[in-house]
Amino acid sequence: MKHKRLNRDGWGFQYYPYYQMRIDCECFHGLACLIRFTDGEANYWATPKAGRIQVTGEGMTWLELIPDHEKRVITIKYFPDGTHDEERTNYPKSFCTKYRPSIWYVDVIEGMEYDEDGIAVFIDKYLDVIFTPEGDVKIDDRSELDQAHDAGELSDEQYADALAECDRILKELCSDIAKTNAWCGKVREIVEERIAAGEGIKKSREVLALEKRGYPTRQKAQELVREAEERNPGPWGDHSRTAAHCAEQIAARSGMDAEKAYVLGLLHDIGRRFGKRHLGHVSDGYSYMTSLGYPDAARICLTHSFNQKKLEAYVGNFDTTEEETNLIRTKLQETELDDYDRLIQLCDSISGAEGVMDIIDRMSDVKRRYGDYDQEKWDANLALKDYFEKKMGMDLYEAVDKEHFRPSAK
């Protein structure tokens, strides 16, 4: 039998905010876990009555309940608060409250344990029950249960217990889905109240490792940019890919961490996710990366536009609130620029949406679009070019393959 962590690392969800708490109240005694989807693509299953069922995606929440003395994990996959898919034309009106479930998925389990990080782990017993607000009810993976029994992985007693638990789930949860929804909603309210009162995120080893290094994996960074482009399409995405390519190539020839350089280059403009802003994209990017627990990436969102740490040298419109402006000014003053800051500043100044540009051409294009370009900033960018060419011992444009590189989202 497989051991599965309730932060759902098997789905790749271990990097999302995950809460794990013991609850003892009139309506529930047991373990409750909650996963918040802060980003990610929407994925769907198909069911006869409800039709297309959303199971993942930005804004969704998974609530996982493991009641005491029962052999089940109840996972309620909620839509973003106060919404549901309009394609679900038969979605019950009585379910249209703040917390609206898309689907329930109930795992029959052998038992529970905890890993070395304190993350709850369930021992999966193959059999599952799936049901929807519209009345779909399905027993899933019965063939896997039968095969495990036939192969001797499950004893006769374990096999019979799994079938009995399935019958109890059908009777207790599926016979009155509206009642089940109301019960789950009450438990979620308790969980949300605990979180609002300061219940902390339960961090796995993967999350702790990322926090130590301060930036996401390459794959995660690519996902973040693709998702951001869906929200705010534009040439900024390919500009960021060009900057990432340049940063990686220069870092590899300068004794720096090429993987870190790539990720920071890719995410330097992630603040564009929130719309067509100028200086605002700096504060948006800093705040967003900070909220995800990526301080190094947040820093680059802040520093990439300021090679002299002068807010007044920003090229573009000052479209920030007083609070955002003060955030940028304060954090710039607190930051001592290092070679990763300098590297992304350089790469930003040679990266176009169609590939690598001559630094003079790139800065001239920016000056043409905005009507001005701070001369000290201009000179500092040229000094950065000289600095990294000396570190590499070669021409900048040769290092980044200016003549041939073209950005691609693939």
Burial (CB count within 10 angstroms: exposed 0-12, middle 13-18, buried 19+), residue 144: middle
Of 206, 232, 250, which residue sits at a domain end?
206
- Which one of 165, 180, 206 terminates a domain? 206
CATH number of 31's domain = 2.40.380
Rounded to whole angstroms, how far apart are CA atoms 332 and 299?
A: 9
User: Residue 309: pLDDT band by 50, 70, 90 thresholds?
Assistant: confident
Q: What is the CATH number of the domain that holds 373?
A: 1.10.3210
- Is 179 in the same domain as 32? yes
Question: Looking at the structure, do residues 179 and 275 belong to the same domain, yes or no?
Answer: no
Of 46-60, 82-96, 199-213, minimum mean pLDDT range = 199-213
**Residue 140's domain spans which residues?**
3-206
Q: Does one domain contain both 182 and 132?
A: yes
Shared domain check, 252 and 164: no
Q: What is the pLDDT of residue 371?
A: 79
Confidence of residue 341 (pLDDT cuts 50, 70, 90): very high
39 or 382: which leads in pLDDT: 382
Residue 252 scores a pLDDT above 70: yes
> What's residue 22's pLDDT?
97
Q: Nearest to residue 250, comparing CAs of 394, 370, 122, 152?
A: 394
Q: How far apart are CA 138 and CA 46, in angstroms?
A: 12
Spatial CB neighbours of 182, under 8 Å, sequence gap ≥ 6: none
Same domain as 316, residue 194: no
Domain co-membership, 128 together with 152 = yes
Q: What does the alpha-carbon distance between residue 47 and residue 41 come to, in Å, rounded to a whole number?
A: 20
HSE (side-chain half, CA atoms, 13 Å) at 329: 10
Q: Do residues 344 and 243 touch, judged by C-beta distance below 8 A?
A: yes
Q: Has residue 363 been placed in a domain?
A: yes
Q: What is the rounded distance in angstroms from the CA atom of residue 224 to the CA atom of residue 269?
A: 11
Judgement on whether residues 62 and 90 belong to the same structural domain of the protein: yes
Mean pLDDT for 344-348 is: 97
Q: Tell whether 340 and 201 lie within a shared domain.
A: no
393 three-class SS: coil
The model's pLDDT over 69-101, given as tens digits with 9 standing for 90+, comes to 999 999 999 999 999 999 999 999 999 899 999
| Domain match, 190 and 286 both | no
Residue 265: inside a domain, yes or no? yes
User: Does residue 408 lie within any of the structural domains?
Assistant: no
- Exposure string over 27-58, b if 16+ CB within 10 A, otherwise e: ebebbbbbbbbebbeeeebebeebbebbbbbe
Domains contained in the chain, number: 2
- Average pLDDT over the chain reads 93
Least confident residue range of 166-175, 285-294, 311-320: 311-320
What are the phi and psi torsion angles at 105 (to 5°)?
A: -130, 115
Q: Are residues 113 and 192 in the same domain?
A: yes
Identify whether residues 60 and 178 lie together within a single domain. Answer: yes
The percent of residues above 70 in pLDDT, for the chain, comes to: 100
Same domain, 258 and 295: yes
Does the pLDDT at position 359 exceed 80?
Answer: yes
- Per residue in 11-41, pLDDT tens? 888 878 999 999 999 999 999 999 999 877 8
**Is the separation of the CB atoms in 349 and 359 below 8 Å?**
yes
d(C-alpha 222, C-alpha 404), whole Å: 22
